[in-house]
Chains A and B, each alone.
Chain A
Amino acid sequence: MAGKRRAAGDPSTPERLRGRMTRNPRSQRPRPSRGRRLRTWALRLGVAFVVLALLGVAGFVWLYKSVDIPEANAEFLTNASIVYYDGGKDELGRYAIQNRDSIPLGEMPDTLKEAVVAAEDQSFYSNNGIDTKGIARALFNNVKGGSTQGASTITQQYVKILYLTQERSYERKVKEAILSLKIQREFSKDEVLAGYLNTIYFGRGAYGVQAAAQAYFRVPVAELDLRQSAVLASVLNDPNDLDPADGREARQALKGRYQYVLDSMAATGKVTDAEAAEAAKRLPKFPKQAAESTYGGQRGHMLTLIKDQVLGLTNADTGERFTEEEVDGGGLRIETTIDKSMMSAMERGVEEIRPTEATDTFTKPQALHVGAATVQPGTGALKAFYGGQDYLKSQLNWAVAGGQAGSTFKPFAVAAALKDGFSLDDRFDGNSPIEIGDTEFENQGDRDYGSAVTLTAATQDSINTAFIDLTDSMSDGPQKIIDTAEAMGIPPEKARPRNTGIPNNTRGLEPNTGVALGSQTVSPVNMATGYATIANEGVFNPVYVIDKVTDRNGTVLYQHKVTEKRALSADIASDVSYAMQQVVSGGSGDLAQLDDGRPTAGKTGTATNDEGDVVSSWFAGFTPQLATAVVYVRGTGVGKLDGWLPYSAEVGRDGYFGGNYPARTFNAIMNGELEGADVEEFPDPAFVDGEAPDTYDPPYVPPPPAQTREPDRDDGPREEPTRKPTKQPTKQPTQEPPAPTTPPPPPSPEPTLPSVPPSPQPSDPNPSPSQGPARTEASGTASGRRG
């Protein structure tokens, strides 16, 4: 029908258009008027504008859709992992890519939020992520030639930091704007503000308000007042130029910005003018910045050791080892075993004793390195250590690097011998030299102690030849000594993942005849661990530093559980301990005796290289509560100590003796660490005496005074974790009635010193430095062998 009607009278549109134009009287004029040309152009322009506008909108929509919120710049999402001392309260240090501790907005004080909004983006709560008015104003000012103004909203700044590079380009500007709009739509204002305040850099290495509050005012962010809030809102504008610690100029600049922030707050009505004026009178107080840098002093050694240890642990959440990323930026909470007061007692102790004054012979005192460690018997917790010099000067941790063990290894040989059936009263050849196979061994100073010295005396006076005779008397002696040492906590020669210990191997721990004389390199940490086994009545606990690791939500990612393994029977441990107590009470380690006279056991040690140079000087020892090892080395750890370490006139002892500086350092450390601790007694020695192996050919001695022998005791009244009775008990009545009430052996006939002339320091020949290479405790004469 419509078609019919149209056909009847309606002209088609083009016809009507043509008709209208022809009806226009002007158009009929032959010359085209100017106005008409203008109109045509206007029309064309209009069409073009609409098209362009449409294109623009389409383009914007396309851009908006195509620009995804990218992955945030990873480092801005990291949180510092915080390390704590034993007990989990005092902070030891932190690992950070950026020092940040993210907190929810609710924990930030209102004054701070208001100050930042007032200073940075007053339209924050009303704008759409970009401040169009602000942009117009900025453009106008820039065109006018005024100051170059920016018009970044908080959202834009946040986007810029979190997602974009810092380069200046239009592309980035466009992207920034679009992302800001997008963020604005997807997140609430509070989320954006919280993200911004947790992300932005405030100077002094602090990212986010929490770290900033700590860095500038040493308070948690929640405790910031108006003045402090205004300062933080000021410095974030230009942290490089506004830190008041940088001098007068920076302080002045800060003051200007500070005034501006307070004025802005007053202008936005967040504070009254009076309050603003009152606050503006002066800047808040800035506490002195911590002088110690993060890694200065022992702290760097601690943080490095702790990080190494965490990286070796398994994260319960992932089932994998902890990664560097997790430790540096995962916001972990790492609780350690390090005891703050013991740590400083150790530092004080070392610094008190270590010689620092250069002399003619003692050149370059800074080449002297001291490593020390304290381990807790019964748990294996590393309570304190001394890594050496300031970490910023030398990163080598001598508590872990250690030195050649020397005679500090002899207690392990004593334990192995007692296990093998010997007793403390069995006698060995103490004369020097002694030849085993083709190798000759000498005592320190080539001194003779008699052809039949007891094992106690050999320990007390550190008689090398007697220990060589002992090792030779055992069948497969060197291997047995190593096995015993490993059971007690000295790691094997080869590093294996299952090994415990720090480090988890012992360089040079090989089964040769001289193994008891200690050419192997042992760390003070491991030495203290091994000695702690003796202190803990023969039960070994692997050493550990990391107690617990939790993530930001409090999920436990790692929890250390103390483990134990019996290495020696309680009786044997009490005997080894007894022999070592003689070292302190009347042997080479007398200077280690603690000031309060509490029972102490220990062993001195020096190691000598092929040239006869002393290359390490040790003292390691323990009380029932703590085991501590101290080593002195020079240069790279194998430098010559004899003739270099200064003679100590006040104790009349040569510098390189283990009984001098190391024993005195031990004394100083333990006096401090054990201050206020109960005095605990050692268990009485059991004087075990088994069947010595056939390979033992006892030297003839006149019959000693009768010695009552105790029957072998069981492992003491200790509750072992094994179920007794088990469903399948061992077929022997394994659990003999423990004999905690066994009377101690009669004290009268001291089993020691029947043949050795009493002498306070019999092993100290006191050679003067000019007499050439000294024969030390563990010196050897054969080539190719280390003492």
Chain B
Amino acid sequence: MTHVHPTREDGVVRGLSEVVGGPVGDHAGPPAHPPAGRAAGGGPRVTVLGVLLAATALTFALGLVSKAACAGQDWSTTDPSRYTHVCVSEVPDAWTGEGLAELAWPWSGDAQTRQRYPVTQEPALVGLWTYATARATHLLAGAPDVEDRYAAAPGDLASEPDVVAERQVFAAVNAVGLAGSALLATLALWASRRRRPWDAAVLAAAPVLALAGFVSFDLLPVVAVAGALWAWSRNRLVVAGVLVGLGAAAGVWPVLVLAAYALLCLRDRRPALLLPPLVTAVGVWALANAPAFVSGRAQWEVFWTAAWRRTADQGSLWFVLDDVAGLDQALVRGLAWGLVGSWWAGVLALVLLAPERPRLSQVALLLVAGVLVLGPTYEPEQALWLLPLAALAHPRWRDLLVWQACEAAYLALLWWWRGGLLSPGSGGSAGFYWLAIAVHLLGTLWLVAAVARTVWSPRRDVVRATEGLPAQVTSTRSTRVVV
């Protein structure tokens, strides 16, 4: 057996495998992985990668099916079904909400455009992505004259038949693009593991991927992070830096992966190793931000000021506290980020005190989770952030399903609350919504606890146990970071 079979290792998968005949036997035929593994004597065989990609496609497709109700309403931004049917997506909203329907450059400084549409609050690379997909949509729609659209007020424009039809196309173009991202992420995770190719299934078959994959553009930083993890697994530090830079330009949080790497460098007392990925990441990030920065600096800054000003907002612990006690917003901001900082300090301590050098994905997951648990706001699609990290850090289906079940419950409750379905008839606070937040927090903490436990006692780490990692040999000081 050249690779680990989940049916033999993972309790949940073993249980499921009973349906198709139980776990792989001791003397089962040659494995399908590595991909060259077409059986010597046989015809075409299904490879692990093939199955993984098919699973990713299926999962993403199921996610799209779950949005069918909204697509059936032409992605109307006002129809209540977007909340009742839990099919909200920011993706089509951007078509009419940010002026993409008239091909407005996301960071345009044109006074009239800015009066018509708010500046995009997406990071630079996502803004470029939306603009590129908008261009593609425009071509697919037969390149209509957008000048005519200036004569209609944005609110009226959003309900014009042409524009509504194009919103469907825009959603479809983005669905294809985001599906491609998901496939790439699976590919990267699969390639990150030598003996555990099935770990990528954590992302490929994730309920969270189905539910939140098309809610926003968050799969873009996710694929960058997955790619960066692959680069680190191959010790390609510069490539890792490039991908982290791209990820950070598409959503700031991928910086935390680099921070995790920095912590490991710190533990090893080899700060020089940090330089190559750091320098390239900064360079690539700057490059990706350049178009927005150069074309409209004031508009580019909107993302940053908005991110900074964010205070107790939906989905967070702070929202509940604010609802109960009424907190000062500046205090919340200070408190939230102060606590996130101390969480990170805790992670640092864990990294330094752990008996073995922790793996990169474990540290990154712990850092990112701090933001999700204690940060001032939390949206359901942010669960995607943990997905590639969890796949490598903790490929145990039981814990992953517990966490994702919580996220699924949170997502549904959040949208129902937003749709006003959970507001008590008598007014006042929505108890169910508080419950949703609690469920999300508990689920994330469950995953964090599981990961922290394996960091603290590495022998519980199934990856270490099976991947034959150098880190197992404590005496050897390898320069290579293990993802």
Which residues of A does B touch, CB under 8 Å? 378-379, 381, 539, 541, 547-548, 556, 559-564, 717-729, 731, 733, 735-738
Question: Does B399 interact with chain A (Cβ within 8 Å)?
Answer: no
26 pairs, CB–CB < 8 Å, chain A vs chain B:
A378-B153, A379-B151, A381-B151, A539-B153, A548-B147, A559-B112, A562-B152, A564-B116, A718-B78, A719-B76, A719-B78, A719-B96, A719-B159, A720-B155, A721-B97, A721-B116, A723-B90, A723-B97, A725-B88, A725-B379, A728-B310, A729-B313, A729-B314, A733-B418, A733-B420, A737-B80
Instruction: Please tell me if the beta carbons of B78 and A721 are within 8 angstroms of each other in the complex.
Output: no
Name which residue of chain B comes closest to A564, CB basis.
B153
Q: Answer whether residue B369 sits at the interface, using C-beta atoms and an 8 A cutoff.
A: no
Question: Looking at the complex, which one of B76, B78, B418 makes contact with A725 (CB distance below 8 Å)?
Answer: B418
Among candidates B98, B112, B154, B306, residue contacting A727 with C-beta atoms closer than 8 Å: B306
Smallest CB gap from A380: residue in B: B153
- CA distance in complex: A556, B146 (Å): 14
Contacts of A735 in B (CB 8 A): 78, 418-419
Asked if residues B155 and A539 are in contact (CB atoms below 8 Å), the reply is yes
A736 touches B90 (CB 8 A): no
B306 to A728, Cβ gap below 8 A? yes
6 closest residue pairs by CB, A with B: A719-B158, A737-B80, A721-B154, A561-B150, A563-B115, A561-B112
Which residues of B, 52-106, contact A by the 8 Å Cβ criterion?
Answer: 76-78, 80, 83, 88, 90, 93-94, 96-99
Pick from B78, B90, B420 the residue with the most CB of A within 10 Å: B78
A726 to B313 Cα, complex, angstroms? 11
For B151, list chain A residues within 8 Å (CB): 379, 381, 547, 560, 562
B113 within 8 A of A: yes
* C-alpha gap A731/B122 in the complex (Å): 19
A725 to B319, CA, bound (A): 17
Residue in chain B with minimal CB distance to A565: B115
Q: How far is the CA of A286 from the CA of B83 in the complex (A)?
A: 71
Instruction: Given A728-B377, A729-B313, verify A738-B80 contact (CB < 8 Å).
Output: yes
Query: Could you tell me if B153 and A731 are in contact, using CB atoms closer than 8 angstroms?
Result: no
Given contacts A721-B97, A722-B97, contact A727 B420 (CB under 8 A): no
Complexed CA–CA distance, A560 and B149 (Å): 10
Contact check, A719 vs B77: say whether CB atoms are below 8 A apart. yes
Q: Does B417 contact A (CB under 8 A)?
A: yes
Q: Which residues of A contact B112 (CB under 8 A)?
A: 559-561, 563
Q: Is B312 an interface residue (CB 8 A)?
A: yes
**Interchain CA distance A721-B113 in the complex, whole Å:** 11
Q: Supply 16 further A-B pairs (C-beta < 8 A) apart from A561-B116, A562-B116, A735-B418.
A: A379-B152, A539-B153, A561-B113, A562-B152, A563-B116, A564-B116, A718-B78, A719-B154, A721-B96, A721-B117, A721-B155, A722-B97, A723-B118, A727-B306, A729-B313, A731-B322
Q: Which residues of B contact A729 (CB under 8 A)?
A: 313-314, 418
What CA separation (Å) do A738 and B156 show in the bound complex?
Answer: 16
Q: How far is the CB of A648 from chain B (nearest CB, A)?
A: 40
Chain B nearest Cβ from A378, distance in angstroms: 6
Measured CA separation A705–B185 after assembly (Å): 67
CB-CB under 8 A from B115, the residues of chain A are 561, 563
* Chain B 316-341 interface 0/1 with A at a Cβ cutoff of 8 Å (1 = within): 00010010000000000000000000
Assess whether A724 is in contact with B97, with CB atoms less than 8 Å apart. Answer: yes
Residues of chain A contacted by B307 (CB below 8 angstroms)? 727
Is B121 engaged at the interface, CB distance under 8 Å to the other chain?
yes
Cβ of B7 < 8 Å from any Cβ of A?
Answer: no
Residue B423 at the chain A interface, CB threshold 8 Å: yes
Report whether B319 and A737 are in contact in the complex, using a CB–CB cutoff of 8 Å.
Answer: no
Expressed in whole angstroms, the minimum distance between the Cβ of B440 and any Cβ of chain A is 16
Instruction: Tell which of A556, A718, A722, A727 has the most Cβ of chain B within 10 Å.
Output: A727
In whole angstroms, how far apart are the Cα atoms of A767 and B439 in the complex? 76
- B26-67 residues at the A interface, CB under 8 angstroms: none
Distance (Å) between the CB of A89 and the closest chain B CB? 15
Min CB gap A750→B, angstroms:
31
Q: How far is the CA of A305 from the CA of B93 in the complex (A)?
A: 39
What's the nearest-Cβ distance from chain A to residue B111, in Å? 8
A345–B95 Cα gap in the complex (Å)? 39
The distance in angstroms between the C-alpha atoms of A726 and B377, with both chains bound, is 12
Give CA–CA (A514, B419) in the complex, Å: 44
CB distance from B437 to the nearest CB of A (A): 12
A737, B116: Cβ atoms closer than 8 Å: no
**Known interface pairs A561-B113, A719-B158, A731-B313; A379-B78 also in contact (CB < 8 Å):** no
Q: Which residues of A contact B309 (CB under 8 A)?
A: 728
Residue of B nearest to A738 (CB): B78
Q: Which residues of A contact B152 (CB under 8 A)?
A: 378-379, 562
A725 contacts B90, CB within 8 Å? yes
Chain A residues within an 8 Å CB radius of B76: 719
Residues of B within 8 Å of A559, CB to CB, are: 112, 147, 150
* Contacting pair B418 A723 (CB below 8 A): no
On whether the beta carbons of A731 and B314 are closer than 8 Å, the reply is yes
Could you tell me if A736 and B121 are in contact, using CB atoms closer than 8 angstroms?
A: no
For residues 147 through 173 of chain B, which have their beta carbon under 8 Å from a beta carbon of chain A?
A: 147, 150-156, 158-159
Q: What's the minimum C-beta distance from B378 to chain A, rounded to whole angstroms?
A: 11
Which residues of chain A have C-beta atoms less than 8 A from B418's C-beta? Answer: 725, 729, 733, 735
Whole-angstrom CA separation of A427 from B191 in the bound complex: 76
State A718–B78 Cα separation when bound (angstroms): 7
Instruction: Say how far A338's CB is from chain B's closest CB, in angstroms.
Output: 14
Our pick among A564, A724, A731, A736 for the contact of B154 (Cβ within 8 Å) is A564
Distance from A370 Cβ to chain B, minimum over Cβ atoms (Å):
29
Q: Which residues of A contact B147 (CB under 8 A)?
A: 548, 556, 559
Contacting residues, chain B, for A738 (C-beta < 8 A): 78, 80
**CB-nearest residue of chain B to A562:** B153
Evaluate whether A731 and B94 lie within 8 angstroms (CB atoms) in the complex, with A562-B151, A563-B115 already known: no
Residues from chain A with Cβ under 8 Å of B83 in the complex: 737
How many Å lie between the Cα of A727 and that of B76 in the bound state? Answer: 19
When chains A and B are docked, how far (Å) is the Cα of A368 from the Cα of B17?
94
Supposing A561-B113, A719-B77, A727-B379 touch, asked if A541 and B153 sit within 8 A by C-beta, the answer is yes
- Please give, as numbers and ranges, the residues of chain B lying within 8 Å of A562 by CB-CB distance: 116, 150-154
Min CB–CB distance B40 → chain A (angstroms): 54
Measured in the bound complex, the distance between the Cα atoms of B113 and A731 in whole Å is 27
